Each structure stands twice: as C-alpha cells, then as structure tokens.
Structure 1
Amino acid sequence: MTSKIDKVVLITGASSGIGEATTRELAAAGARLFIGARRGTRLEALADELGENVAWRELDVTDGSAFDAFAGAAKERFGRIDALVNNAGVMPLSMLAALKRDEWKRMIDVNIHGVLNGIAAVLPDFIAQKNGHVINIASIAARIVMPSSSVYSATKHAVRAITEGLRQEHDMIRTTLISPGPTATELGHDVTDPDIAAMLKVSIPQGMSPDAIARAIRYALEQPDSVDVNELVVRPTASAM
C-alpha cells in the first residue's frame, strides 16, 4: 500500500510533461498542490479536473518577484509550504558555432535563475519552520555533455551544484536532484536547428513516460524527514546515454 502525502507542494512547469504528470501523481497521493506555468488555461483545466486540493497561478520562473508572489499565494491558500518541485526548463539545443545567444540566455534564465528564484521564494519559510524539501529536476545532461548540448548541459550541471550546495548549507532541509534520461515531453520543441529538431522528433517519443519521473518525485517525498534522497538518475532501460 502506498503512503499518503500530507504535504503542500509547489510545482513549476505544471502545464505539461513531467510537471503535469507529477501533479496527477501527487494529487492521487493526497497532497495539496499549488501549480504554476506560463499557460494558465492548461493549469486551470488541470486544477478543475483534479479538485479543490489543486490550485494554480500563472508563473514565469525567471521573474523573482512573480515567484515570491506565487509562493505567497500558495501559503494563503493552504497555510504553509512543505516542498517545492523546480521542474520548469527549456532545451533549445544548438552547436556553439551557431551563436544562438538569445537561446543561450533563455536557457540560463529559465534553467538556472528559475531554480534559484524558486529556492529564494521558499527558503526563508523552510528555515523558519526547520523543515522543507527542494526537488530540482535536472537531466542526464547534468552528468554528460554532447555536441549541441554545451549550454544546456552547463545549466543542468549548475542545477546539480546548486542542489548539493543547498544540502550542505541546511541540515534540516531535504534536497533531491532528479536527472531524467530521454522522456516523452515537450522539452526541445523550441529547437531551431532543423537537423537537431529532426533528431529529437525521433528520439523523444521513444523516451520514458513522464509518469516515471513523477513516481521518482513521489518516492523522494514519501521518505520520513530523517531520510534525504539526494539524487536519482532515471533512464529508459535501453538508453545508452
């Protein structure tokens, strides 16, 4: 029998993919969820479907003030915050020689600043209540670099370092880094290089279901406060990466 998760959890990037799957998984486990993403209509439909324990607010994770307001609205609705799932991310892969500076900046803003904004929005409360859990969704790119992934991998290496730093700085706050392998989500839909886009159209649909990552998140959350699942790497069985 699976346990009930009696926690208030914030989830970013919840309008599709891993974020949506995690919302469904944790809602089924009894958690109270406050979900965010830029596409409010999708969030609203998901919250309406799942019931009163799921609330939503549009969120651009690159805006620190907006993230603070997001966390504040969650506290107003549910009274406290127990965990944050920093899931929002972008992956416009390209070769460095393509000089796609705008895409580099976007990845840094969403994938690094977005994670830091989330931590900043919840950390004072977590310190005050001497308890809390930050779950950061990275990628196998946090461990490897491939042609076209230089900047994306750099952002995910940064998320891994930030997560470990947070763990070392606060011994009453749990931290979890989850690094998915290829997963069938919208990630990479904004790739502008036609050759790389064509490759992803073949590889991404063959990846894991986002439900696999949602279950990993649930596993980390279900552990007692004295147990900190620091890192999980989740790959398709047949993946060579």
Structure 2
Amino acid sequence: MNIQGKVVVITGASSGIGAQTARLLSQRGAVPVLMARSTDKLEKLAEELGGGCRAYSLDVTDAEAVRRVFAEVEHTYGQIHVLINNAGFGLFEKFTDAPLSSFEEMMDVNYFGIVRCTKAVLPAMLQARSGHIVNIASMAGKMGSAKSSGYSATKHAVLGMTNSLRQELAGSGVNISAVNPGPIDTPFFDRADPSGTYVKNVSWFMLKPERVAAAIVRAVEKNRAEIDLPFIAGLGTKLYSLFPRLLDKSAQRLLNKK
C-alpha cells in the first residue's frame, strides 16, 4: 500500500510507539487519526503533526464508545484505510499474587480492545475491498516468562485471532499483520515495572520506539503478515517451539529478569 494520503487510525497514540508511529506516518504523507484515553497528550501531538490529523478520546474497553468514535471518524474522513491496534498495557506479577482483576483488565484492553476496534472498521473495509489492520502483539505472545502469565496470555490471544482472521480475509482485499516487539524503551514500564528492576536488567536489549514504528509502517507498505523484533528474539522463539524442553533452562536464565 502506498500510504500517502491514507487515513490511519492509531489506538494508544498518546505516547510510546503509538505516538512515534503517528509522527512517521505524517512524515510519509499519511493522515494519522489519534486515539487514546489521555486527551491532553493526544491534542498536543495532533497540533504538532498538523494537516488533517485529529485526536479522539477513546477507551477501548467501552464497546459503545468504540462504535460511536469510529463511526464519527468514518463520517469525517469518508474512509479508514488502516487501523493500528496499539492500545495495551502489562503488569508483571507472580500468578499466585496477582488478583483476578489484573488478568481481566489486561484481557479487556489488550485483546478485547483489538476485537472491538477491528469489528468497528472491518465491515467498511470489506465493502471497499481494501484496507489493512496491524495488531501490535509481542514476543511475549510467543514465549512466556515468569511474572508475565497474564500479559503473555493476552498477546497469545492477539496472535491467535490475527492468524485466524487472516485466513478469513484471504481474497477480500483486506490485509492483516502482527508486529511482535520485544521490550521497548517507552512509558509501558512505568506501570508494568514500577520498581525499575526489569528495565535495568534488559536495558541493553531494549528496542527504540523509532525502530518499532518503522516496522509497523513497513508491515503496511510491504503487506508483511508478521514482523518479529529484534531478529534474534524471533529466531529464539522459533527454536524454542521446536525444542521446548531442551531450551527451557536457557530460556529461564535469559527471560526471568523481572
């Protein structure tokens, strides 16, 4: 897809890779439409980007709000060409210590939020026989680690849904991608890792938001079904899927940094 002039909705756009992706899309001539709960940050970013960029307050856990806001965007712009499902968060807790509400909240935002937003745009995309949906999953959706049972489960769900929907959309003109980054240097960890222990332990391995944003744009432009970041982590998950018992101990030493 040539993204110049295309209307691209980005959820979770107030900071991190959502905001950086909006900047990159704007530089490449697309029209970013920003959505998040933090309206102050959104409006500042929309003002920075200018052009046809607009900001919309949205809580992806509110099904009626999702329906209403996406309908408003379609009415304003005429068509949504690309949806980037980026809204999400994580909590790093031991399974036995984590309250049930942590599992429920992460699943409601990280997985059902994507389902709600995708349902809001897909009918029009199918009617137009064009469009692209990018779901931001995670390497955690391919390989779990200690204190990530709830978060990893949500990203497993995102990948399962994405892969299944890709089969349903075959021949429809609508494409769908999954982008699976490892740890990224963003405010995500302000909530996931308030002690800073994990960030300190993996700082050498953390991705820059600019690199992930470039991968997201590449997924749309090149119609990539899936992108793993960094490459070495993607290779590691492939090896682990083939030899899980053999690599369990090595994986524990490398991943259990929380």
Give the TM-score normalised by the residue count of structure 2: 0.84
- Percent sequence identity is 36
Indicate conservation of the 8 Å contact 2:70/2:121, yes or no: yes
Match of 1:199 in 2: 197
Indicate conservation of the 8 Å contact 1:18/1:213, yes or no: yes
Match of 2:57 in 1: 58
Matches within 5 A, 1:2-81: 5-81=4-80
Indicate conservation of the 8 Å contact 1:14/1:20, yes or no: yes
Secondary structure, aligned partner of 1:115: helix
Indicate conservation of the 8 Å contact 1:94/1:100, yes or no: no
CA RMSD of aligned residues (A): 1.9
1:232 counterpart (195, 215, 227): 227
Match of 2:189 in 1: 188
Write the letter of the residue equivalent to 1:61.
V
Indicate conservation of the 8 Å contact 2:89/2:192, yes or no: no
Separation in structure 1 between the aligned mates of residue 131 and residue 216 of structure 2, nearest angstrom = 14
Indicate conservation of the 8 Å contact 2:181/2:229, yes or no: yes
Q: Deviation of residue 74 (structure 1)?
A: 1.6
For residues 84-108 of structure 1, the C-alpha deviation after alignment (integer angstroms, 9 at most, x for no partner) is 0000101011010103222111101
* Runs of 4+ that moved beyond 6 A: 236-239
Separation in structure 1 between the aligned mates of residue 46 and residue 102 of structure 2, nearest angstrom = 31
Structure showing the higher helix proportion among its residues: 2
Indicate conservation of the 8 Å contact 2:132/2:176, yes or no: yes
For residues 31-50 of structure 1, the C-alpha deviation after alignment (integer angstroms, 9 at most, x for no partner) is 01111000001000000011
Match of 1:125 in 2: 124
Match of 1:176 in 2: 177
Indicate conservation of the 8 Å contact 1:31/1:53, yes or no: no
Q: Deviation of residue 175 (structure 1)?
A: 0.7
Instruction: Structure 1: give runs of 5+ residues left out of the alignment.
Output: none
Task: Decide which structure has the larger Cα Rg and report it.
Answer: 2
Q: Deviation of residue 60 (structure 1)?
A: 0.4
Q: Deviation of residue 198 (structure 1)?
A: 3.1
Q: Deviation of residue 64 (structure 1)?
A: 1.4
Indicate conservation of the 8 Å contact 1:86/1:115, yes or no: yes
Indicate conservation of the 8 Å contact 2:137/2:179, yes or no: yes
Aligned pair in 2 of structure 1 residues 122, 111: CA closer, same or farther (>3 Å)? same
Aligned length: 232
Separation in structure 1 between the aligned mates of residue 73 and residue 192 of structure 2, nearest angstrom = 33
Indicate conservation of the 8 Å contact 2:35/2:55, yes or no: yes
